[in-house]
Structure 1
Amino acid sequence: MIFPNPPITEAIFDITVNLRDSFNHEILLTFHEEVKESFPNIQKRMAFQGGIELKLDNLDEIHPQLLPISNKPEGYIFVSQDEKRVVQARLNGFTFSRLKPYESWESFYTEANQLWEKYAQLTSPVKVTRLALRYINQILIPATGTVELKNYIKTVPEISNDLSVIMEDYFMRIIVAHADYRPSKAIINQTIGQVTENEKGERVVPLIFDIDVFQQVNLQHDDEEIKNIFELNLRSFRDEIFFKSITDQTKELFK
């Protein structure tokens, strides 16, 4: 089902890999040479770890800080001129993101797969270990009075009837599996924000509905099964979760 005004704010295609130990990270810059016409902007991606600095002469002073694990980047981020498409070429994998407006699965997947094949051709991964498809949706619920979330989303947190409270905010995270799509799993995150205004100046409550479907694998980078898992498993699983979680009233918001 295609909506004129889809709620997708970001669609993400992600593949985790193992590269050979002797891999030269500068090869990732060669990848940029091949795609820079479409993705001219480049940023380094560094790996950091949290740390705490303690001064022995003053133990009352504690300074949390992020420390780089290495002076070498763990990858690079390539961004299109309009900043709507982003590629991450990393030592542990590849990610393609499409920001709003999302056009269609066909255009999104075709571009993601073409870029992945370029990455794989240059890096020759030892193996592919994880495939993931993530869709971050923002549903703008009209705030014309008391908002009943169940009118828009079918899975919501329940508050005891014995509590006389009003839910002002929530964050919910669940991990699910489905017999038809095993061994894939899905991480579903939901949260609501504060009342704001949409482009028309109408008061709305933003509901974030984040669906991250993934499968642990052990495949060669050129295995046809990668394409099958994305198109026949992960995409279908994501669609089932989305369409069976929203109501007809929600669908009207996307027209």
Structure 2
Amino acid sequence: MPRAPIVEAVIDIRSHAAGTFEEAAVRQFLEPRLDGYEYLDTQRAVQHELTFEVTKPPRQMFKDLGLKGLRFRSADQKSIAQFNRDGFIHSRLEPYSDWTSFSGEGLRLWEIFKELVQPVEINRIGLRFISRIELPLSVARLEDYIKPAPETPRDLELPFVGFMHHDTLAVPGYPYAINLIRTIQPPQAETRANSGLILDIDVFTTQGFEIEETGLARILEEMRWLKNKAFFGSVTEKALEAFQ
């Protein structure tokens, strides 16, 4: 589509660092290699425990589990590259340009992550696209925009104020599954005057891969094909008219 309704696209690859993962060394390694990005922040893992005793008030304990990862942001502030101890995330906010640019940048950043942590196995690959289709203020028939449309209880014909539907689909014969969430986003006071139909599609792998055996570009292409089938199979022609 010339004007895709994608508000966020994410490549998420889970893979543990083989050696040490220390902030100063990680930042020193990454900054010269991330042309077009600047350091955003450092994230730490924290464990929260709440203890209850009969005769005493609850006690909260916070334990610092160490460095989780570092985030870098592109010059236009629309792309985030996150290098974690247990994986890599590349995300792009709207405007989304095209698959070639998005996946190509993700694969480039993944090669930097591999050089940094030298993982031996990929535990999970996820490709997630969140799309938002703006609904007219007067919309009364959700079936004009989404299929299958939600239905009210029998003999209770009332208008929908909102809904959320979550499906998980297996892909027989392939190591993939799909999480599909459909919901209504209410108007946002500062940015969105109308309600929006949200389609949150997460295609993910169901098994691990050896690094040497992984054709990551091919896997991402297959996952994108599944994402497109899930998206176009969930909306009507009328919903797509605004993006032609």
TM-score by length of 2: 0.88
Partner of 1:149: 142
TM-score by length of 1: 0.84
Partner of 1:25: 22
Which of residues 206, 211, 232 in structure 2 aligns to 1:243? Answer: 232
Contact 1:151 1:247 survives alignment (8 Å) = yes
Partner of 2:12: 14
1:74 aligns to what SS in structure 2?
A: strand
1:69-93 deviation line (CA, Å, top 9, x unaligned):
42x2111111123210001100110
CA distance in 2, matches of 1:160, 1:124: 54
Equivalent pairs, count? 243
Whether 2:74 is the aligned partner of 1:85: answer: no
Partner of 1:252: 241
- How much has 1:101 moved relative to structure 2? 0.3
Structure 1 residues 66 and 102: alpha-carbon distance in aligned structure 2, compared to 1, 3 A threshold: farther
Please give the residue correspondences for 1:27-66 in structure 2 after superposition, counting only pairs within 5 Å. 27-52=25-50, 58-59=56-57, 62=58
CA distance in 1, matches of 2:68, 2:168: 29
Partner of 1:190: 182
CA distance in 2, matches of 1:219, 1:165: 49
CA distance in 1, matches of 2:216, 2:198: 29
CA RMSD of aligned residues (A): 2.5
Which of residues 53, 62, 67 in structure 2 aligns to 1:67? Answer: 62
Partner of 2:215: 225
1:204 aligns to what SS in structure 2?
A: coil
- How much has 1:205 moved relative to structure 2? 1.6
Which of residues 107, 110, 134 in structure 2 aligns to 1:113? Answer: 107
**After TM superposition, where is structure 1 displaced by more than 6 Å over at least 4 residues in a row?**
none
Q: 5+ unaligned residues in a row in structure 1: which ranges?
A: none
Structure 1 residues 69 and 28: alpha-carbon distance in aligned structure 2, compared to 1, 3 A threshold: same
1:54-111 deviation line (CA, Å, top 9, x unaligned):
587653xx57x683442x2111111123210001100110010011000000000011
CA distance in 1, matches of 2:126, 2:153: 36
Please give the residue correspondences for 1:163-174 in structure 2 after superposition, counting only pairs within 5 Å. 163-174=156-167
1:252 aligns to what SS in structure 2?
A: helix
Question: Higher mean Cα deviation, 10-19 or 31-40?
Answer: 31-40
CA distance in 1, matches of 2:105, 2:94: 15
- How much has 1:252 moved relative to structure 2? 0.8
1:164-207 deviation line (CA, Å, top 9, x unaligned):
5432122221101234x7220011112212245897x9x52211
Which of residues 96, 102, 123 in structure 2 aligns to 1:102? Answer: 96
Contact 1:42 1:78 survives alignment (8 Å) = yes
CA distance in 1, matches of 2:55, 2:16: 44
